[in-house]
């Protein structure tokens, strides 16, 4: 075990468990861990994960899948545990806010107890949503956020904040070896076609030559990190010395308006789509981009994939599923944009 911890990035012989392993980020993480020679168990209840994301991994080294909901107790044998479980899309997590909150509380508690029991290092995929509607720009880890505990996003935002609190309590009380990353908007191949995220929404609409439905006037800003860069940051954090617990912001610090993103996707797809607007959802942040100074100094990490390159790769992946794109229903009348 000590020899593994001295050079954990190599991965050889490392036992890794990835909850949410059939999801967008989880499946990319599983693939990278296998490439590094790890033994990988992906755990997912398939509420939003997709077996198609991980089917190519069977037969690629020591890879196993367990269909399980982390809200229920489980027994793990692992050196590294990555908690990637919990729907990140408002479209999904708002369907069952109780389940969303329980995944972030009961589920996280189960995993922390297992990490304590098997002396594993454990990673929490936290989120930029813990900053809420930020009052400072850019957002650094020292900022405590401005979250609405009563709004429609609270089950996710407050659930993730609670998960962070439990991680640091287990670290202080029991010496559990923790790592916490606050993940900003991430995109890339294997995003769900119907997850409601702005990048996937715009790409799907553009490829179908439908109007790109933009919230408000599109002046709100985001930053978009390509998935390969994010996974590199996660693994660097996991390999960092024990004292580097986080939280660490992981995201692309390049700020772009949603309107600019829409124009860029129309251009890259060659679409005939036009841009239309709809009402801004409740508690939707108006500005969101990270200060990654800590990630640069502590992890030697910075994103490398440009937005145009990343979008081109992502569009190419979506084009391979054009048949499914055409079968998707149009948004219901209540959700359609207005010009």
3-class secondary structure, 167: helix
Q: Are residues 92 and 214 in the same domain?
A: no
pLDDT at 1: 28
Question: CB–CB of 192/89 below 8 Å?
Answer: yes
Does residue 258 belong to any structural domain of this protein? yes
Q: What is the largest CA-CA distance in the chain?
A: 61
Query: At a CB cut-off of 8 Å and minimum separation 6, what does 169 contact?
Result: none
Q: Domain holding 328: CATH number? A: 3.90.25.10
Q: Are residues 177 and 259 in the same domain?
A: no
Residues annotated as part of the active site: 156
The 10 Å Cβ neighbour count of residue 19 is 31
Does residue 322 belong to any structural domain of this protein? yes
Does residue 214 belong to any structural domain of this protein? yes
Q: Are residues 234 and 325 in the same domain?
A: no
Q: Domain holding 179: CATH number? A: 3.40.50.720
Q: Are residues 14 and 159 in the same domain?
A: yes
pLDDT at 6: 35
Q: Are residues 206 and 231 in the same domain?
A: no
Structure token pair of residue 169: 């309590």
Does residue 298 belong to any structural domain of this protein? no
Q: Are residues 217 and 172 in the same domain?
A: no
Does residue 193 belong to any structural domain of this protein? no
pLDDT at 238: 98
Does residue 192 belong to any structural domain of this protein? no
Q: Are residues 213 and 316 in the same domain?
A: yes
Expressed as residue numbers, the domain containing 263 is: 198-222+254-288+306-335
- CA 180-181-182 angle, to 5 degrees, is 125
The 10 Å Cβ neighbour count of residue 334 is 5
Q: Are residues 246 and 140 in the same domain?
A: yes
How many Å apart are CA 227 and CA 27, to the nearest integer? Answer: 11
Question: CB–CB of 250/221 below 8 Å?
Answer: no
Give how many domains the chain has, as a whole number. Answer: 2
The DSSP symbol for 183 reads E
Question: CB–CB of 198/216 below 8 Å?
Answer: no
Q: Are residues 142 and 71 in the same domain?
A: yes
Helix 198-207 to helix 258-269 angle, to the nearest 10 degrees? 40
Cα distance from N-terminal residue to C-terminal residue, the chain = 60
Structure token pair of residue 78: 């692992």
Does residue 301 belong to any structural domain of this protein? no
Q: Are residues 183 and 258 in the same domain?
A: no
pLDDT at 88: 79
Q: Are residues 86 and 14 in the same domain?
A: yes
Q: Are residues 144 and 267 in the same domain?
A: no
Structure token pair of residue 205: 């609409």
Chunk the chain into consecutive blocks of 10 residues (it has 339) and report each block's average pLDDT, rounded to whole numbers.
36 88 97 96 95 95 96 96 89 84 96 98 96 87 88 89 98 98 96 87 95 89 96 98 97 95 97 90 80 98 98 95 60 37
pLDDT at 335: 40
Q: Cα 126 to the chain's mean position, in Å?
A: 8
Q: Cα 7 to the chain's mean position, in Å?
A: 26
Does residue 296 belong to any structural domain of this protein? no
How many Å apart are CA 179 and CA 176, to the nearest integer? Answer: 10
One DSSP character per residue, 31-67 reads HHHHHTT-EEEEEE--SS--HHHHGGGTTSSSEEEEE
């Amino acid at each position: 075990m000590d020899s593994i911890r001295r050079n954990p990035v190599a991965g050889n012989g490392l036992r890794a468990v990835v909850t949410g392993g059939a999801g967008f980020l989880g499946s990319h993480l599983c693939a990278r861990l296998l490439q590094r020679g790890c033994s990988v168990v992906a755990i997912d209840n398939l509420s939003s994960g997709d077996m198609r994301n991980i089917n190519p991994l069977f037969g690629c080294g020591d890879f196993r899948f367990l269909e399980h909901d982390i809200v229920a107790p489980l027994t793990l044998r692992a050196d590294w545990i990555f908690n990637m479980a919990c729907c990140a899309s408002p479209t999904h997590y708002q369907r069952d806010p109780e389940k969303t909150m329980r995944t972030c509380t009961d589920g996280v508690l189960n995993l922390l107890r297992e990490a304590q029991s098997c002396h594993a290092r454990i990673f929490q995929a936290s989120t930029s949503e813990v900053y809420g509607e930020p009052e400072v720009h850019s957002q650094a880890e020292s900022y405590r956020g401005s979250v609405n505990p009563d709004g429609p996003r609270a089950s996710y935002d407050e659930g993730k904040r609670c998960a962070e609190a439990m991680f640091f309590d287990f670290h202080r009380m029991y010496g559990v070896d923790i790592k916490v990353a606050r993940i900003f908007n991430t995109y890339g191949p294997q995003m769900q076609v119907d997850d409601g995220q702005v990048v996937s929404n715009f790409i799907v609409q553009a490829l179908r030559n439908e109007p790109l439905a933009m919230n408000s006037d599109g002046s709100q800003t985001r930053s978009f990190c390509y998935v390969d860069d994010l996974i590199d940051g996660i693994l660097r954090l996991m390999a960092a010395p024990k004292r580097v617990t986080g939280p660490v912001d992981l995201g692309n610090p390049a700020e772009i308006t949603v309107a600019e993103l829409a124009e860029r996707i129309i251009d890259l797809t060659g679409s005939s789509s036009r841009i239309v607007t709809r009402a801004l959802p409740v508690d939707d942040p108006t500005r969101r981009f990270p200060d990654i100074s800590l990630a640069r100094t502590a992890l030697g990490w910075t994103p490398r994939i440009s937005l145009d390159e990343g979008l081109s790769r992502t569009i190419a992946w979506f084009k391979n599923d054009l048949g499914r794109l055409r079968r998707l229903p149009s948004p219901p009348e209540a959700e359609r944009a207005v010009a």
